[in-house]
Structure 1
């Protein structure tokens, strides 16, 4: 019966997504972002009529989700590239360290992914014959010292690695002074060859002290080599610039119309702003059309507060006088464009964009691949079989405030407006035992709603990361024995927290809690809010367990009203 219910759920998902896709196609447009929520630093490659896209994951595990599409709009996650502990060691790293800006390329039957493991090894490459995996263990590239590496396979048969590195002679002229360097890459033996060469010093015009030239890519088109990179940092001054050369190793001459993508010149009070655009990658379709994927943010106020991180957007590219233009004819990046002239992609097993309601019932033998956790697990602390049809977490000493691997399993918050809820069985025996649902932005910025003991009695508590108790409600002895439902509702800068001791009978614990506390503007870093279930004994040993029967997520953003989907 459980297997039948799981198959039925998947069928309903596929049907609803297909209907949503048809509704969108009927309008001949698509809606941005194509991957909402914490999916930053996108990179893309095309193999025939198939497209593959990856994004950064920082200290979350598994690392680097990989998606497949045939239409550039609807994506299906087919795996996680770094899904074995031996591939990814993020122990002791802050949530915004770890994996920076991976890029993906395909050459002669092999897929290559290069990225940076910040603070624990530097740049490395992994390979696979099948993009869904398995992918190889990392091969480290210590001679390529920097971040944001990408690969370019030239028609000459040679390959190159291009990356952000330090200023010349490691003597920066100003804060944020970086270079783009290139080194020959032996792709058969996975190692660099020779000495690196500086292609860009500082940015397109060093006299203006440009900062953080990064995320480089090289393309060959109509006899020119094009070097594209981000400039200005990944916040509101983010931009994308382009240079070109007749030779792969330069000299590279900048486009006089740079930047070719930015929103930094626009007023903060514009309606429904798209901000921080940059870190782009280009792809040419089998029909000869060009498109750009890039990261952007959706702030919900004029102070640049956004909680859900940097998202993946799609926009058309046109060529004029030998230079690419992203979003030609518009200052504003659009929430909707005419769809690419490509065949419709098949539906995903779980929704990735649009408005949707989705229940995870934990009936399968493995967690679906969109679930993530903080850092690489060193032990088996969760179960999907004890009891079957639920997620059981061990109550362990690790906390959300630390830099270890706590008992925390989460999914991305993908909407400005929506909710997450769960049903839990948990019997705390001490005040240090605490389990429930959390909205997590970082070690110092998260809300935790759960069950614990206080003054000898079971209670529902809402806490901030510093353990400040924002609200508390007592549970009677009868209520304490029953399953507990917990719910987080969010709407831009406001979060509300609910609980229920009877099915669907929600009680408000605290409303209008400050959501800007979960914003990147206040928390810092490069990630977005994740919503998930946790269990901790706050530094002390425990043998307790918390069991979760289901986890619901619902999102309802106005931009997606053209493509609703309801999935149970």
Structure 2
């Protein structure tokens, strides 16, 4: 047995060793980038003229706000939209007048709810349904490749929201929850057809009864209510996004049909009883833009995937997704949220007559005085973050994971700890981003010259395979500004320029317009210099990059020598 003296000496030696190791860890942390501010400016000509009295601006939520679902509590209106593999997930928007909306939070903000690790950006959270019933808000949605269908609830839609109640019996996407007048609750959703698919895009809509007490669906209640779409003989594709509601003794089923591209539409079915078949409306679709000239100016395209809300005075309004395209079928801003009134004719709802374009400036809802918001989601606005808050602004998004241990707000700076994962990685890179909400825009930032072994800068990101990165890094000659482009392959450097060390921050800027994007840099308050010239902005469009998201603009830090 060792003597007490030897034990004490050993403990002291161990403690000194531990302190030295801890000091080494503290003395050699991973390098971090220091960003001073981020500025975004929207400059779309279609938004340029002031609104006339009594008008509102479409889209009412510009940029990547797809698959909107709406509900009302008293005089307050709330929307939930898809978020795919971005975190936090399920953005929640709020309005008092249906036309001025503000992002107030997210329903998914922690890993105990769900995880998107390793997913492509267009997987994760698909179309949600948001409903208010008996003092509680309900959100039902699908976590594709990360758990399936689930329900979460909250007393306040700004949060906090519960952990999920998973629904493993439901095979499919786009679930809807409906509270009937007799107290029974139903779930409808897109799923496989009852037999082998007859053609590509052949899907079906299924109905289940849900027991809120046991938080389970009743297995024996499963029922096919739409097979294929409005007319199976015409081979309709991708019937999805069902929303069930009741009006004047009828059950109405609102669905999307035709795929989420140019042939997208909204179609309607109804029945007197959920025990009887649904009949399709002879005037379908009640919303589409596929029957207009494809080369029209300032087109709104891909309209569909709608949801309804009824106002206290009985008015009905529809929100739906659509896109603002250039060169016929290209769009970088993702699928946006639009608003139009619903007119009832012969017991059927109508959103837009056939052949009529979605208006950019319709009349506001009757009887709802406009209530402006502090951070608007449409029109030509400016948005700036000086990083002077205690928490990251609600408009910032991360990729895949909820971990934020690598970022910090300190003394009016955003500090990003560099990671080895780049923007092409399926891991979580050190990247924070906000939506591109305009076809014509500038986004800029200022950062301190980064430490050796890392790069830092600004990025325009559509997905893992399609993005641009304008970065700064140290090299043997001082510092280098460089531009990387990824287009369905490994990222490649397309331009670089040596700059001299300076105590002043480096400013970086992205300028975008339809089909074109430019990258510029400046030292301190000096002149702007272009790097790489005009780049093909279509690289960031859904038409080229695929998927279901929109372009995000943000800040990135990356280890250049590995971890």
Instruction: Provide the rounded CA distance (Å) in 2 between the counterparts of 1:398 and 1:480.
Output: 28
Compared CA separation, residues 539 and 521, structure 1 to 2 (3 A):
farther
Matched, 1:482 2:531: no
| Among 381, 401, 414, the residue aligned to 2:424 | 401
By how many angstroms is 1:502 displaced? 2.2
Matched, 1:502 2:528: no
Matched, 1:311 2:355: no
Is the Cα–Cα contact under 8 Å of residues 70 and 342 in structure 1 kept in the other structure? no
By how many angstroms is 1:279 displaced? 0.5
Is the Cα–Cα contact under 8 Å of residues 162 and 183 in structure 1 kept in the other structure? yes
Is the Cα–Cα contact under 8 Å of residues 459 and 475 in structure 1 kept in the other structure? yes
| Among 443, 446, 452, the residue aligned to 1:423 | 446
Residue of structure 1 equivalent to 2:321: 295
Residue of structure 2 equivalent to 1:66: 92
- RMSD between aligned alpha carbons? 1.7
Instruction: Provide the rounded CA distance (Å) in 1 between the counterparts of 2:346 and 2:243.
Output: 20
Residue of structure 2 equivalent to 1:438: 459
Instruction: Provide the rounded CA distance (Å) in 1 between the counterparts of 2:561 and 2:345.
Output: 61
By how many angstroms is 1:265 displaced? 1.6
Residue of structure 2 equivalent to 1:525: 547
Q: What is the DSSP-based 3-state SS (H/G/I as helix, E as strand, rest coil) of the residue aligned with 1:168? A: coil
Instruction: Provide the rounded CA distance (Å) in 2 between the counterparts of 1:236 and 1:259.
Output: 14
Matched, 1:271 2:297: yes
Residue of structure 2 equivalent to 1:468: 492
Matched, 1:458 2:458: no
Q: What is the DSSP-based 3-state SS (H/G/I as helix, E as strand, rest coil) of the residue aligned with 1:29? A: coil
Instruction: Provide the rounded CA distance (Å) in 2 between the counterparts of 1:392 and 1:530.
Output: 19
Matched, 1:412 2:438: no
| Among 382, 394, 406, the residue aligned to 1:369 | 394
Residue of structure 2 equivalent to 1:384: 409
Residue of structure 2 equivalent to 1:147: 173
Instruction: Provide the rounded CA distance (Å) in 1 between the counterparts of 2:227 and 2:116.
Output: 31
Instruction: Provide the rounded CA distance (Å) in 2 between the counterparts of 1:152 and 1:504.
Output: 59
Is the Cα–Cα contact under 8 Å of residues 111 and 130 in structure 1 kept in the other structure? yes
Is the Cα–Cα contact under 8 Å of residues 71 and 342 in structure 1 kept in the other structure? no
| Among 312, 328, 338, the residue aligned to 1:286 | 312
By how many angstroms is 1:61 displaced? 0.3
Q: What is the DSSP-based 3-state SS (H/G/I as helix, E as strand, rest coil) of the residue aligned with 2:112? A: helix
TM-score by structure 2 length?
0.88
Matched, 1:350 2:372: no
By how many angstroms is 1:263 displaced? 0.8
Compared CA separation, residues 458 and 25, structure 1 to 2 (3 A):
closer
Q: What is the DSSP-based 3-state SS (H/G/I as helix, E as strand, rest coil) of the residue aligned with 1:86? A: coil
Aligned residues: 512
Instruction: Provide the rounded CA distance (Å) in 2 between the counterparts of 1:539 and 1:294.
Output: 46
Instruction: Provide the rounded CA distance (Å) in 2 between the counterparts of 1:210 and 1:246.
Output: 25
By how many angstroms is 1:429 displaced? 1.7
Instruction: Provide the rounded CA distance (Å) in 1 between the counterparts of 2:418 and 2:190.
Output: 42
By how many angstroms is 1:193 displaced? 1.3
Residue of structure 2 equivalent to 1:8: none
By how many angstroms is 1:456 displaced? 4.7
Residue of structure 2 equivalent to 1:513: 535
Deviations 1:476-504 (A, max 9, x none): 2xx35531100000011111111000215
By how many angstroms is 1:144 displaced? 1.4
Residue of structure 2 equivalent to 1:546: none
Matched, 1:126 2:147: no
Residue of structure 1 equivalent to 2:261: 235
Is the Cα–Cα contact under 8 Å of residues 24 and 30 in structure 1 kept in the other structure? no
| Among 340, 343, 366, the residue aligned to 2:365 | 340
Give structure 1 stretches of 5+ with no counterpart: 1-20, 542-568
Residue of structure 2 equivalent to 1:117: 143
Instruction: Provide the rounded CA distance (Å) in 2 between the counterparts of 1:47 and 1:220.
Output: 17
Is the Cα–Cα contact under 8 Å of residues 63 and 88 in structure 1 kept in the other structure? no
Is the Cα–Cα contact under 8 Å of residues 291 and 354 in structure 2 kept in the other structure? no
| Among 156, 161, 164, the residue aligned to 2:182 | 156
> Larger deviation: 69-78 or 156-165?
69-78
Deviations 1:152-199 (A, max 9, x none): 111111000100001113x11111111100100112332111331110
Q: What is the DSSP-based 3-state SS (H/G/I as helix, E as strand, rest coil) of the residue aligned with 1:31? A: coil
Instruction: Provide the rounded CA distance (Å) in 2 between the counterparts of 1:418 and 1:85.
Output: 34
> Larger deviation: 193-202 or 232-241?
193-202
Compared CA separation, residues 100 and 37, structure 1 to 2 (3 A):
same
Instruction: Provide the rounded CA distance (Å) in 1 between the counterparts of 2:368 and 2:158.
Output: 21
By how many angstroms is 1:342 displaced? 3.9
Deviations 1:38-77 (A, max 9, x none): 0000000111221111100000000011111121100122
Residue of structure 2 equivalent to 1:550: none
Residue of structure 2 equivalent to 1:320: 345
> Larger deviation: 462-471 or 157-166?
462-471
Q: Whose radius of gyration is greater, 1 or 2?
A: 2
By how many angstroms is 1:249 displaced? 4.0
Matched, 1:184 2:206: no
